[in-house]
Amino acid sequence: MSRWLVTGGSGFLGINLIRALVEKGHEVVSIDIAPFTYPDMVDRIDHRIVDIRDRKAVDECMSQGIDVFMHGAAALPLYKKSDILSTNIDGSRNVFESAKEYGVNRGIYISSTAVYGIPEKHPLFEDDPLVGVGPYGYTKIEAEKMVKQFREKGMTITNETQVICRAGEAWGFCHFLPVGFRRQKFSHDRKRRESVSASAC
């Protein structure tokens, strides 16, 4: 089994991934600026209060024998612009650079459908224009660019790649994917984005 680092572990996506990982026997280190208040998991994982803008604190967690990371920590649209920029860009860079330094070559980055702005059509496709609205959408696009840069630096191994997931509205959870999460489906040579329903999992 693997040892995972989950950033944003106190949030909705974080706790549901943690539950799924623990159920499958994986070890989890969770980091978040918020306390971990889930009684069913609090004694089964290692949770640390960490701001991802603190590179030293991120390094202390990443150096604990981590095999895979899931980076979901983010300052949401209601935060101050300065916090959105520093957390979602500088903090993300800290996570990616720390992973590279400590040899954690497998990772998942949780982006957002906010990168598409206000869609004028449905369904959306992976290669549709990225026109994020506001600071939050902008930072998610910039962080995706960072992921691509770190891929070029070797953060892929064999056939396992660093993955970007663009999360939409989430109402539930199944097979690591919350309902409303955008799963890649293939339509000929294009990657089509469709919502996942609980019955489809």
Note the pLDDT of residue 95: 97
Token look-up 């995706």 returns: 144
Token look-up 């040892």 returns: 3
- Residue 195 CA to residue 181 CA, distance in Å, equals 6
CATH number for the domain including 132?
3.40.50.720
From the number of C-beta atoms within 10 Å of its C-beta (0-12, 13-18, 19+), residue 169 rates as: exposed
Note the pLDDT of residue 168: 65
Mean pLDDT over each residue of the chain, to the nearest integer: 83
Counting the structural domains of the chain, the total is 1
Count CA within 13 A, CB hemisphere, residue 53. Answer: 12
Cβ atoms of 69 and 2 closer than 8 Å: no
Note the pLDDT of residue 189: 44
pLDDT tens-digit readout, 46-100: 999 999 999 999 999 999 999 999 999 999 999 999 999 999 999 999 999 999 9
Note the pLDDT of residue 158: 27
Domain of 152? Answer: 3-200
Note the pLDDT of residue 68: 95
User: Model confidence at 164, in pLDDT bands (50, 70, 90)?
Assistant: low
Helix or strand (DSSP H, E) at 164 = strand 163-167
